A and B are shown apart, each in its own frame.
Chain A
Amino acid sequence: MHSSARRRVLPGFGLTLGLSWLYLGLIVLLPLSGLFLKTFSLSWAQFWDTVAAPRVLAAYRLSFGAALAAALLNAVFGLLVAWVLVRYRFPGKALVDALVDLPFALPTAVAGLTLTTLYSRNGWYGQHLEALGFQVAFTPVGIVIALTFIGLPFVVRTVQPVLEDIDADVEEAAATLGATPWQVFTRVLFPSVMPALLSGFTLAFARAIGEYGSVVFISGNMPMKTEIAPLLIITRLEQYDYAGATAIAGVMLAVSFAMLLAVNLLQRWTHRRFETRPGTG
């Protein structure tokens, strides 16, 4: 334990404090507060007419619904992938582990172009799905697929370290006391990874709500059907309807802040449970 008096021995407090707040203020806080001011300068009727219009409501429903579906898919498969990467050995494991981060590193537009081409009528996936009577590209299903791609690393990367650091003693004790592997998983392991899983789910969900680049290509952008909320903001901007764009964005931003708060609380909860153990910090 270091006393706070000892900490202040280190130099650079004033400089880094000033620099951090100044840069944060100029690049992030000032532009974002501009958006808030603009939102509050709208009259209530103006705001409500924009946000409650059927086309806007349909876009919100689609954005939030598809994001939720994709985050759920990612929670299930992300947990599975994390489990397989932590607990099992198989050839090519290091490569697979590296590949999980691909959606973080690959530009969203590239993901969008590629998935759209794969799932369109003549694409590698699309031609087989077409034969079976499914259409994916230019439908909400296509949007969910693009959002699943984008959110894939979040759950894996939040669950994986927690799974690695689970105290083997607890697991062994449970097994020694006669618990079946399934019981150990559901009663011991799952509760331990639950906060991390929730946190990964929320991160994937938050990312998917605002996602644009990977979705615009595959969605087809039909109003009321496959038009996502971020696209609607761009459409309004192109019509020089700044008020409309701001109102739609204001609602999304409020939701994003709520999600950010949720993630922070979840991560604090996770840290309280796991960081106190030696060697996991």
Chain B
Amino acid sequence: MHPTSHAPRRNRRLVSGPAPVRWLLIAVALAFLGFFLVVPLVAVFTYALQKGVGAYFDAILEPESWSAIRLTLLAAAIAVPLNLVFGLAAAWLIARFRFPGRDVLLTLIDLPFSVSPVIAGLVFVLLFGRQGWLGPWLAEHDIHIIFAVPGIVLATVFVTFPFVVREVLPIMQAQGHDEEEAALSLGASGWRTFLHVTLPKVKWGVLYGVLLCNARAMGEFGAVSVVSGHVRGVTNTLPLHAEILYNEYNLAGAFAVASLLTVLALVTLAVKKYVEWKAESA
């Protein structure tokens, strides 16, 4: 299916520069990455463990951390499936059909990426806040969205909106739809074709999209910060909890909480690498 996409280039004379230049460029690039990425990564765990393993687990297991973990998991558990379903539908639509408004849809899907997280929170305050469009009605019916859990979930859904589409769409486009047409002409139903032909072809892209979506959902700070109201033990997610601990000069505690999110980031990267390796060897 992939004809001459990557012809052997081993013996070709590509520009690489003389050896000293090569080593200098590699050294500068690695120094830059080490300085900006590796040292901060090491620092998170060093600061988290600076008071010992006991203090580390105490900081993670105390009730307010637990409630932050629960809320973070809840927001992700709602945002990720919603955006997964939308992502698959939109990717199928855009990859398989030409229709008026296709380019507009494609551009609008990226909107949440280009909006500041703070603005993402603000739009929900303007809609559901006490002085917002629906504020009086919500107050009358005693429904709390802003400074409550629903607001946090909404803001999380908004900021993680494009992730799955963005990962799945290029793969669906690259793979074409000959196999789907074959399945359909052999009498398979649309759903069956989607589940047994399309989904297996794009599963690694779906997995990576879900993981990125999840990492952002659990780590979102700006948007959630605007709508949360920072009620300890009630509307604090993990990143907000880390901020509070930091502002109380509890550095070890803040970094213990941050280290959980860092592990999540590292797992996400590891799966990405695995997905790429799978895609190349397929």
Contacts and interface: CB of A to CB of B under 8 A. Distances in A.
Interface of A: 4, 6-13, 15-17, 19-21, 23-24, 27-32, 34-35, 38, 77, 80-81, 83-85, 87-88, 90, 94, 96, 98-115, 117-118, 124-125, 148-149, 152, 168, 171-172, 175, 181, 184-185, 189, 206-207, 209-213, 217, 230-231, 233-234, 237, 240, 242, 245-246, 249, 252-253, 256-257, 259-260, 263-264, 278-281
Contact of B39 (A118, A234, A245, A278): A118
Interface of B: 2-6, 9, 12-18, 22, 25-26, 28-30, 32-33, 36-41, 43-44, 47, 82, 85-86, 89-90, 92-93, 96-99, 105, 107-119, 122-127, 129, 131-133, 154, 157-158, 161, 173-174, 177, 180-181, 184, 190, 193-194, 212, 215, 218-222, 225-226, 239-240, 242-243, 246, 251, 254-255, 258, 261-262, 264-266, 268-270, 272-273
A106 B132 CA distance: 33
A124 B114 CA distance: 33
Contacts of A98: 269-270, 272-273
A77 B119 CA distance: 30
Nearest to A209: B116
Given A117-B47, A233-B118, A152 B36 contact: yes
Contacts of A257: 114
Contact of B116 (A94, A152, A210): A210
A148 B36 contact: yes
B89 A230 contact: no
A33 B240 CA distance: 28
A129 to B, nearest CB: 12
Contacts of A27: 154, 157-158, 161
Nearest to A164: B6
B258 A256 contact: no
B32 to A, nearest CB: 5
B97 A8 contact: yes
28 contacts: A11-B190, A12-B190, A13-B93, A15-B89, A16-B89, A16-B93, A19-B90, A23-B86, A30-B127, A77-B29, A81-B33, A84-B26, A84-B29, A85-B29, A88-B16, A102-B37, A102-B41, A107-B219, A107-B258, A109-B261, A114-B47, A115-B40, A124-B39, A168-B14, A181-B18, A185-B15, A210-B117, A242-B131
A203 B157 CA distance: 22
B119 A249 contact: yes
A106 B219 contact: yes
Nearest to A33: B123
Given A81-B33, A118-B43, A212 B126 contact: no
Closest 5 CB pairs of A and B: A210-B116, A107-B219, A279-B5, A11-B190, A213-B221
SS of A interface (majority): helix
A39 B115 CA distance: 16
A17 B99 contact: yes
A206 B92 CA distance: 28
B263 to A, nearest CB: 11
Contacts of B123: 31-32, 34-35
Contacts of A213: 117, 221-222, 225, 239
A6 B178 CA distance: 11
Contacts of A99: 33, 37-38, 269
A64 B186 CA distance: 57
A211 B71 CA distance: 23
